[in-house]
Amino acid sequence: MDPLTAVFGLACIGVGGGAGFWLKKADTRLQRLSETAIVLQEGQAAHFSHLNTEVNTLQQHLSHMTGLVEALRATHPEIDGALLVHSVIVQYESSTELGQEVSRSDALQALETLISPISTESEIAGESLLSSATESLLNRLLDVFQTREITVESLGLNPVAAHRLGHASLLLRRYDWAESCFGVAYRSSPGNQNILEALEHIALLRGDEELRRHWLEARMTVTPDQPELLRAHAHLLAKLGDAEAERDVRRLEALGVDTAADRSLLSGLRARAGSRSEALEAIELALADDPGRSDDWYSYAQLLYDDGEQGKAQQAVERCLDIDRQNGEAWGLLAKLLSPMANRLEEALKAAIHAVALEAGGIQLVFLKSDLLLASGKFSESEEALERALLASPDNAELRARMASRKLLNGHISEAQNLLDETPLGIDHALLHVIEGRLHLARADRERDGTGQTDATLLAESLAAFNDALRLDRESGVAWLGLARTMRLLGDLPGAEEAIGRALRLLPDEDPSAASEAALLALDLEDLSAATKHIEAAAIHGNSATVSYVRGNIAARTGTLDKALMQFDEALSTDPTHIRARLNRCSILMAMGEGRKVIDDAEILLDMAPSLILARLRRAEGFMLLSEWGHARDDLKMVLEAAPHHYHALTQLGSCYLSLERPERAEGPLNEAIRLNQNHAPAWHQRGLLYLQLKEIDAAFDDFQAAIRCDANHLDARLHIAATFHQQERHEEAAAAWRAVLTIDPDHVVARTRLGACEVNLL
């Protein structure tokens, strides 16, 4: 056999054997798989049979549970309501997405079912009316209603359901819904005590006292003699300042159920009405009935203090503090009682410290504590007390304003301004604007030059500040007072009259500032009798520096220079920083020829206020009285550098140059003075003297006549005119001119002698 054939045959045999072996193995595996499938089918059949049994059992249980749920919903309406509300909420949320509408009747049914367990006689604001889950669902439903702008009226709740929902809403602190619901119920049952009590309670929670009064009085129509209602009504009326509160207390007394607290309230009502004796009698009865009430002892002490019974008031307030050491108002009253006693200053200070620590007495006690520390020699502690109070209440505008006012009164203008500048943003108060206006007035006092032009510029901001204060508070007496003074300084006397009238009506009688300002205004109006009357009214409360200053002005107007000087001396001894009193004393001393004293006062003024141009002008005039023309000229030049429009300073500078025998330097300032004010008689007179030096007689005569046209009582100008006529032997005109001089000064010797000579020549 061919080897190739043999190999091929062997290969075929091997392949055939392998195929047979594989087929045998495959058949064995198929048999095993068939057996496994049969077993699996049998297992699945058994499982499905068991599952069918379980499903049938579950269906039976489910049917039973459904019955139980229906039973629960039937016997527990809150559960039924909760389920219905939840369904309605889901529908509303779905309707937002799908654009569908939810039936109002479904919502109403759900809501009524949810609140049905609530009694219409439930306690107002009582707890446990609803479970926490029910509260949550009701809150969600009301939120949905609010979003959809569904109101109580649009829901169509019946009065009983509205009453129940009112209680639920009150529990949830949804007072708008509560008020609307109780309102629906009230329209159906206006005499229902529970509804009226709920509406009064809502008004109380909102702080609407007038509405609360309405509902309280509605409750009282149903039960007019209920003691608690009468007490609540009495306290509310007392708070509102209504004298009818006494009637409620009287009714309690008639019913025989009045207490010590009721008699205490009656005492307070009578005190407010001005019946102090009756108030004292009522509080004494209250204390006799119950001496353990600290508030009554404080009220008793306050009444005694107001009546001037200081000793008894102190005993009463000490009894109050024996009962209650934490009564801050009592500590404050004790501090007021002890503060005037020099030998009890330390006790007064301790009382004030207690009062302030207990936050009693307000700003008044803060300042009393500061004053007592100052009186004890503790200067730094006094300032620190105010600063701590301001640090604790930086938005307290009244405290800040009063602190700034104190700084201003002490002459610390920059510190007062800093307090105003540090006011927090958003804080606006009339007193802050008043202090700002007073600061501008104080600066004006330190920068005036005696000309209306400068004053108007300086005072414009002051005027605006006082008007801002009145914009916030038209009844601010201090703002009207500041406005009156500013208008007076600006020359608006009718406006000042109106403003000071308002200030006099608004400020208390014990405040002398308005009467003092009224006296100054009367002086400007040339009404000396009214000025005297006003300043005497102010002096009733003490002779202050301002009173002496005004009296000095009145004396100066009447020509009694010695008395005026005495009054200005008294003003400056009381207040050495009184700028206007010192300026006016300079004027009096000038009239008396006391040049050196004028200079001394002017230098004090310049030390206090280096920018006070008027003080420098007064010093220059003092030098002129002493014939120190060079010093006077230098001061006048400084005045004119600051105020080139100062026509009086230009006139005085021209006079200095004439006295220094520099007439060529005098003409320029005098011409400028006349250009600035053609009615300034001294400028015309000085230029007439200049022309006399230059031998220009006619020009001099014309200027003297111009001076007389400006001021008919200008004596020197009339003397020069009369002398000119006399020298020219124009005897008739000279005689008339000398008579005019004698009209002004009847004792003028030269004029009388020359007049006699003229009359002899005219015979």
54 pLDDT tier (thresholds 50, 70, 90): low
More confident residue, 665 or 287: 665
> What angle, rounded to 10 degrees, do the helices at 647-659 and 663-676 form?
160
Span 497-508, pLDDT tens digits: 999 999 998 888
More confident residue, 151 or 750: 750
How confident is the model over 321-345, as a mean pLDDT? 88
Average pLDDT, the chain: 82
In the 8-state DSSP scheme, what is residue 511? -
pLDDT at 400 over 80: yes
> What's the Rg (C-alpha) of the chain?
50
8 A C-beta contact, residue 718 and residue 741: yes
CA–CA distances in Å: residue 412 to residues 419, 544, 758: 11, 20, 64
Of 285-294, 335-344, 429-438, 591-600, the poorest mean pLDDT is in 285-294
CA distance 466 to 484: 10
pLDDT at 641: 93
pLDDT at 268 over 60: no
pLDDT at 2 over 80: no
pLDDT at 713 over 70: yes
CATH topology of domain 393-507: 1.25.40
CA distance 745 to 91: 108
Q: Under 8 Å CB-to-CB from 47, ≥6 apart: which residues?
A: none
Span 167-194, pLDDT tens digits: 888 888 888 888 888 888 888 888 888 8
pLDDT at 674: 94
pLDDT at 379: 87
Span 302-322, pLDDT tens digits: 878 877 788 888 888 888 888
CA distance 46 to 572: 123
In the 8-state DSSP scheme, what is residue 342? G
8 A C-beta contact, residue 569 and residue 539: no
Whole-prediction pTM: 0.65
Of 212-221, 484-493, 678-687, the poorest mean pLDDT is in 212-221
Pick the CATH number of 602-706 from 1.10.620.20, 1.25.40.10, 2.60.40.60, 1.10.1060.10: 1.25.40.10
242 pLDDT tier (thresholds 50, 70, 90): low
704 pLDDT tier (thresholds 50, 70, 90): very high
DSSP 658-688: HHTT-HHHHHHHHHHHHHH-TT-HHHHHHHH
72 pLDDT tier (thresholds 50, 70, 90): very low
Q: Tell me, what amino acid is at 5?
A: T
8 A C-beta contact, residue 313 and residue 348: no
Of 222-226, 323-327, 446-450, the poorest mean pLDDT is in 222-226
213 pLDDT tier (thresholds 50, 70, 90): confident
pLDDT at 73 over 80: no
- Please tell me the CATH code under which domain 76-223 is placed: 1.25.40
Span 141-174, pLDDT tens digits: 788 777 777 888 887 888 888 888 888 888 888 8
Please name which of 174, 115, 99, 166 lies closest in space to residue 143, comparing C-alpha atoms: 174
257 pLDDT tier (thresholds 50, 70, 90): low
pLDDT at 269 over 60: no
pLDDT at 757 over 60: yes
CA–CA distances in Å: residue 30 to residues 25, 42, 720: 9, 19, 159
pLDDT at 68 over 60: no
Alpha helices of 491-594 — where are they, by DSSP H?
A: 493-506, 513-524, 528-539, 545-557, 561-574, 579-591
More confident residue, 232 or 751: 751
CA distance 736 to 40: 157
